[in-house]
């Protein structure tokens, strides 16, 4: 289980795109405009990450067309070169969904972030003065090159890609969020995992003065999460440093958080300060709190009910009525092979 899975053909960039400079250029342009956010991308693009060095970006980001996103309309400078922008690449590979984006207002004002408060509607208020710079992330454990990264060093690892993922909370609501960031594998590659590493453990900042919810025992602090190494190395697994083309807002886990789109939202640990590679399966906060209700894997699965409610349907924020929840949150084509031969009811 320690080797990364083969990448499905749908995720492999055709070689002609790797070597076609026009396409690479277009990817850069489209990334900047799609994000609604040319300026924000510049802000996220630290020196050293200026060039589009990520061929996998080609074709992953597509123009959303006549967006009604107010942020986009406020950034007319993002208008694309008509020659370069004309033919949209057909895209449906998991990194981008065409489903309607959840509004920026909902994404940043309806949050689970117990370090601030257990009230979803109050997280934005309570976290409004949270200072997330300077910030360091220690990457350690079973790696050849352990390192304490400054946030800016992490941002330099890769130009930010925009990825529009579905997010399904275990409570039964969901959103569609345009993240900025890059595959966690880029950070893990930099520290060179040892052959003995089988899991990756993550930890949120513990600082009750800055995170007032930590003065209450809502959970065992700090919040911890974990993935199997092959899950962590999967290209869909993302270190998010922004959303809607801006730096990551405090309620969403500033300055950087994990996003694992085929798992329930609580696996997406926020405000990460430590990442450790381990041989044994690490403890995870919600599993420690209620082992019978939240498993280590927590893959979105409409067929396995939570002990207290069905997981068959979900409320998409901003929509009326409920929609069917999809196996692996709709990412089965990309990730199902990670779980071949596993009993997903037992390993819930």
Ligand X SMILES: Nc1nc2c(c(=O)[nH]1)N[C@H]1C(S)=C(S)[C@@H](COP(=O)(O)O)O[C@H]1N2
Q: What is the DSSP letter of 79?
A: P
C-alpha distances in Å from residue 98, one per residue of 66, 245, 265: 13, 17, 20
The answer to whether residue 111 forms part of the interface with ligand X (CB under 6 A) is yes
Among 35, 188, 254, 269, binds ligand X (CB under 6 A): 269
- Binding status of residue 135 toward ligand X by CB under 6 A: no
Residue 204 touching ligand X (CB under 6 A): yes
Q: By beta-carbon distance, which residue lies closest to ligand X?
A: 265
We find the least distance from the C-beta atom of residue 222 to ligand X, in angstroms, to be 8
**Per rule CB under 6 A, is residue 132 in the interface with ligand X?**
no
Q: Tokens in use for 141?
A: 């454990």
Q: Is residue 266 close enough to count as binding Mo ion by CB under 5 A?
A: yes
Q: Which stretch binds ligand X (CB under 6 A): 42-50, 62-70, 267-275, 305-313?
A: 267-275
**Position 316 contacts ligand X (CB under 6 A):** no
252 binds ligand X (CB under 6 A): yes
Strand extents, DSSP E, the chain: 136-141, 147-150, 161-168, 173-183, 199-204, 224-228, 238-243, 246-247, 257-259, 272-278, 313-316, 323-324
On whether the CB atoms of residues 109 and 124 are closer than 8 A, the answer is yes
Contact pick of 249, 265, 282, 295 for Mo ion (by CB under 5 A):
265
Interaction pattern, residues 152-181, with Mo ion; x per rule: CB under 5 A: -----------------x------------
C-alpha closest to that of 246 among 67, 41, 64: 41
Residue 178 bridge partners (DSSP):
164
Peptide bond connecting 216 to the previous residue in cis, omega within 30 degrees of 0: no
Judged by beta carbon distances under 5 to 8 A according to partner kind, the member of ligand X, Mo ion, none in contact with residue 325 is none
CB of 175 to Mo ion, least distance (A): 11
Residue of minimal Cβ distance to Mo ion: 169
Q: Return the sign of the alpha-carbon dihedral for residues 123, 124, 128, 132.
A: positive
242 binds, among ligand X, Mo ion, none (CB under 5 to 8 A by kind): none
C-alpha 261/C-alpha 238 separation (Å) is 9
Contacting residues toward ligand X, per CB under 6 A:
111-115, 167, 169, 204, 223, 251-252, 265-266, 268-271
């Amino acid at each position: 289980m320690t080797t990364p899975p083969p990448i499905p053909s749908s995720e492999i960039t055709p070689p002609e795109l790797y070597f076609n400079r026009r396409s690479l250029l277009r990817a850069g342009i489209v990334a900047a405009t799609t994000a609604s956010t040319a300026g924000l991308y510049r802000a996220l693009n630290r020196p050293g990450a200026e060039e589009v060095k990520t061929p996998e970006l080609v074709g992953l980001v597509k123009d959303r067309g006549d967006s009604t996103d107010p942020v986009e309309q406020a950034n007319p400078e993002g208008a694309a070169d008509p020659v370069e922008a004309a033919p949209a690449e057909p895209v449906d590979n998991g990194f981008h969904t065409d489903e309607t984006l959840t509004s920026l207002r909902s994404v940043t004002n309806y949050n689970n972030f117990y370090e601030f408060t257990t009230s979803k509607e109050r997280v934005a208020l309570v976290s409004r003065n949270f200072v997330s710079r300077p910030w360091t992330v220690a990457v350690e454990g079973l790696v050849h090159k352990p390192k304490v990264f400054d946030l800016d060093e992490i941002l330099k690892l890769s130009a930010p890609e925009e990825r529009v993922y579905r997010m399904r909370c275990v409570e039964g609501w969901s959103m569609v969020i345009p993240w900025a960031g890059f595959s966690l594998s880029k950070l893990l590659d930099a520290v060179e995992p040892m052959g003995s590493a089988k899991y990756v453990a993550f930890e949120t900042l513990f600082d009750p003065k800055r995170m007032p919810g930590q003065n209450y025992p809502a959970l065992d602090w700090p919040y911890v999460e974990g993935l199997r190494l092959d899950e962590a190395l999967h290209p869909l697994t993302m270190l998010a440093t922004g959303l809607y083309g801006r730096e990551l807002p405090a309620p969403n886990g500033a300055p950087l958080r994990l996003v694992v789109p085929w798992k329930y939202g609580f696996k997406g640990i926020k405000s990460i300060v430590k990442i450790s590679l381990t041989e044994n399966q690490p403890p995870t906060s919600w599993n420690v709190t209620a082992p019978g209700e939240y498993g280590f894997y927590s893959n979105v699965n409409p067929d396995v009910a939570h002990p207290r409610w069905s997981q068959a349907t979900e409320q998409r924020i901003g929509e009326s009525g409920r929609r069917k929840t999809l196996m692996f949150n709709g990412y089965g084509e990309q990730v199902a092979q990670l779980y071949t031969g596993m009993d997903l009811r037992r390993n819930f």
